[in-house]
Chains A and B, each alone.
Chain A
Amino acid sequence: MNKTLSAADVQASDVRPLPVLEETLRYLLSLLDSTEHSFEAVHDFIFDRTRSIRQDLSMQNLANERVIHLYEEISHLCVYSVDFIILTLKWVLIQVKFHVIARQRLQSCSTTSISSMHHLNMEQLAKTLTTLYDIYDANRKPDYIYQNEAEFRSLYVLLHLNPSSGVMGEPMALWFRKLTSVLIKSKEMCFVRNLLRLYRMGNYKNFISALASEATYLQYCTSEPHIREMRSLAVQCINNVCYKLQPYPLLRLSQNLMMKEVDVESLCHECGLETCTDSDGCIVLPTKQPNLRRPEEGFKGYDLIGFEMKRLL
């Protein structure tokens, strides 16, 4: 990894000019799709490099006076500072994308240090989103929202779906107070508000199917842990609520949860429940089992079946 530094990344101590920083960012983002190295290595590298870029940017912010003096004779001074805002915005957007995608990729990693990496990543995502919103707010024009603003605001809702997840932030009710009418009525915000309602109601079937049919890639990545939560809830519910003499067919459940039947079986076992085969050869879940437990805080997400990945890319 160390040998493949781009020409842009040559002297870390010097403050890099804006066009160079842009190029570096593009390069870093392309690394996310690299299959050469394990994701952990990529993650660390990007994390490190993005932090140094951030420092460079903030240094440039303070040194803006100097930069302005440099370009004093040239008349596109104003254009330069506007470019700076746009670049900062682009930069933060890339950071957010990175953290969201990282979260999803981490789920398929197998090292033991995953949970701390994951937690760190979530913290960074939450902080980065907050920075992003501050930039949006600081450069607010009345009744205007930036091109991607609605989607990135919606990620906040998805991140805080579960109030006991420990992700930092203010209560959802307070957060909504600050949104403008235009944002609230946007397609993306309406979508996640509906998801929030379904989540809180425990309507696992509609939650999962709505997500599968309408979410963008970033929204999907951010919601993955909640899909898992809803699936666990479904299993828990069925066990507690259904008639003891009518074991629940896993095939039916797998359709509602958009999972492979074998994955449903695995999930049941994770919840401490036993499955068996009935007289017709179907796998069923006997209900009212006393050994129900919360599945471990692992990151093994089961695939979403019947979900068009192509739609998102």
Chain B
Amino acid sequence: MAYVSMGEANRLITEYLNRFCDSVSYQDSSTLCHLLSISSNSASLLSLADALNVFQDASSLIRQSDKFSEHEEILAHLLPSLQSYRVGNLVEAYIAFEKFASAFVQEFRNWESAWALEALYVVCYEVRVLAEMADKELTSNGKLKAAGSLLMKVFGVLACKGPKRLGALYVTCQLFKTYFKLGTVNLCRSVIRSIETARIFDFEEFPTRDKVAYMYYTGRLEVFNENFSAADTKLSYALQYCDPKKERNIRMILKYLIPVKLSIGIIPTYELLRNHKLHEYINIVQALRKGDLRLLRHALDEHEDRFLRSGVYLVLEKLELQVYQRLMKKIYINQKLSDPARAHQLKLEVIAKALRWLGMDMDLVEVKCIMMMLIHKNLVKGYLANKSKVVVLSKQDPFPKLCGKPVGS
């Protein structure tokens, strides 16, 4: 903490108060944004915080002037929040900021135009981020839960007919981030319903950046629920409209889009995986291309933690059937080369041998079971002659491609 003299402190605080009040009077949203970004650790805010800690009685300064006292409600909590943040008291910082935010939202509601929308975004962002910091200190999630409630209230304020409604999607995404972090993802449902069914909202009107974030989160929800077509649509939208310079965001989208694409039979190139540093999928893709079950199992084991945490493990595990399909196709192609007349007959014994070669010991009953499932789910066309222990493949297109549809649909 830098040393600030009493006089300098007075000057810094008064300057901040002036800038705050002017930005409100002149509807200067971008200046206001800078004044509210507590967690940005900007030089000006840090020195202001130092000044506050020296001066100690900023509220007297506020009350002294008519200009400042007009915004006393808001400033009374904003300054202490910054003060606490500076000395590392993150719980107090959050508590004060929450009160500030409530007061600010009330003011925002009264302002007729939507001039302060960007500033409101900053407030929402800070509420969430400060709550997360406070919770870390408390090793609980109470503050983030409270932040969620506040954000819902903000959403309510923006769910209106005027131009303020354009901010609703940004707040929605802040809510998504909050709920995902809390693990209470089911709470997303009510906001999603509002956005998608309320007549005041027209999805196309929202800023692109917010639409991309929205589709990313709702796409992820579809992945968790294994609705692959919907997930594909949403995540592909997010990818298409994402700013190409935002590499981190693109990577995040791809992390979920790739398992979805794999599930509907679309395989990315190794180049794509390497370019976006998604090495964890390289072995999975190879296993699919080669029909190598052992490699799939190995890849799942190797990155088990990572896949479980991101929630794609079950989706990737399900690819096993497609890997089996590929293996059967390889056996068939091999047979075609050596004995074309009988290539369409796959003996269970031959399949078992191929699996043993891959290190997978299975008895004929299990092999039969798997073949039946492949045929049942239309990954293999043909029938099982149980007595003869043979799978007879259809002469036409015995291994239908998924073509963008999930298995068994």
Interface residues of A (CB under 8 A from B): 163, 170-174, 176-179, 181, 184, 196-197, 200-206, 236-238, 240-244, 246, 248, 252, 256
Contact = CB atoms under 8 A, between A and B. Distances in A.
Contacts of A179: 308
A256 B367 CA distance: 13
B312 A173 contact: yes
Contacts of B15: none
A115 B223 CA distance: 32
Contact of B369 (A170, A205, A236, A240): A205
B314 A241 contact: no
Given A177-B183, A243-B383, A246-B387, A203 B311 contact: no
Contact of A205 (B310, B366, B392): B366
Given A242-B384, A242-B386, A246-B387, A173 B366 contact: no
A241 B383 CA distance: 5
B124 to A, nearest CB: 24
B314 A205 contact: no
Contact of B385 (A176, A238, A240, A246): A246
A202 B318 CA distance: 11
A177 B309 contact: yes
Given A171-B224, A176-B311, A206-B366, 16 more contacts: A171-B225, A173-B224, A173-B312, A176-B313, A179-B308, A201-B370, A201-B373, A202-B376, A203-B370, A203-B373, A237-B373, A241-B384, A242-B384, A242-B385, A246-B387, A246-B388
Nearest to B225: A171
B402 interface: no
A244 B386 CA distance: 10
Interface string B257-300: 00000000000000000000000000000000000000000000
Contacts of A256: 365, 369
Interface in B375-409: 375-377, 383-388, 392
Nearest to B382: A241
Contact of A170 (B185, B226, B304, B365): B185
21 contacts: A163-B226, A171-B224, A173-B224, A173-B311, A173-B314, A173-B315, A174-B185, A196-B314, A197-B317, A201-B318, A201-B370, A201-B373, A202-B369, A202-B373, A237-B373, A241-B372, A241-B376, A242-B384, A243-B384, A244-B383, A252-B386
A255 to B, nearest CB: 9
Interface of B: 183, 185-186, 223-226, 304-305, 308-315, 317-318, 320-321, 365-366, 369-370, 372-373, 375-377, 383-388, 392
B224 A237 contact: no
Contacts of B309: 177
Contacts of A177: 183, 308-311
Complex A-B, nearest 9 residue pairs according to Cβ-Cβ distance, in ascending order: A173-B311, A243-B385, A202-B373, A171-B224, A246-B387, A173-B224, A241-B375, A205-B369, A237-B372
Contact of B376 (A172, A237, A243, A246): A237
A248 B314 contact: no
Contacts of B320: 197, 201
Contacts of A242: 372, 383-386
Contact of B366 (A174, A200, A203, A240): A203
Contacts of A238: 372
B384 A173 contact: no
Nearest to A236: B376
Nearest to B304: A184
B369 A243 contact: no
B321 A240 contact: no
A204 B366 CA distance: 9
Contacts of B366: 203, 205-206
Main secondary structure of the interface of A (DSSP, over half): helix
A95 B372 CA distance: 41
A200 B226 CA distance: 12
Contacts of B376: 202, 236-237, 240-241
A150 B311 CA distance: 20
A174 B311 contact: yes
Contact of A243 (B224, B312, B315, B386): B386
Contacts of B304: 184
A300 to B, nearest CB: 24
A243 B392 contact: yes
A201 B314 CA distance: 11
B186 A181 contact: no
A256 B363 CA distance: 12
A45 to B, nearest CB: 34
A237 B386 CA distance: 12
Contact of B321 (A171, A201, A248, A252): A201
A268 to B, nearest CB: 15
Contacts of A246: 385-388
A93 B366 CA distance: 37
Given A171-B225, A241-B376, A206 B384 contact: no
B369 A206 contact: yes
Contact of A176 (B185, B308, B387): B308
Contacts of A200: 314, 317-318
Contact of A174 (B183, B318, B321, B383): B183
A177 B184 CA distance: 12
A124 B117 CA distance: 46
B403 to A, nearest CB: 22
Contacts of A248: 386
Which of B185, B305, B369 has the most chain A CB atoms closer than 10 A to its own CB? B369
Nearest to B392: A243
A183 B110 CA distance: 51
A174 B180 CA distance: 10
A47 B282 CA distance: 53
Contacts of B383: 241-244
Contacts of B370: 201, 203
A65 to B, nearest CB: 21
B369 A172 contact: no
Contacts of B375: 240-241
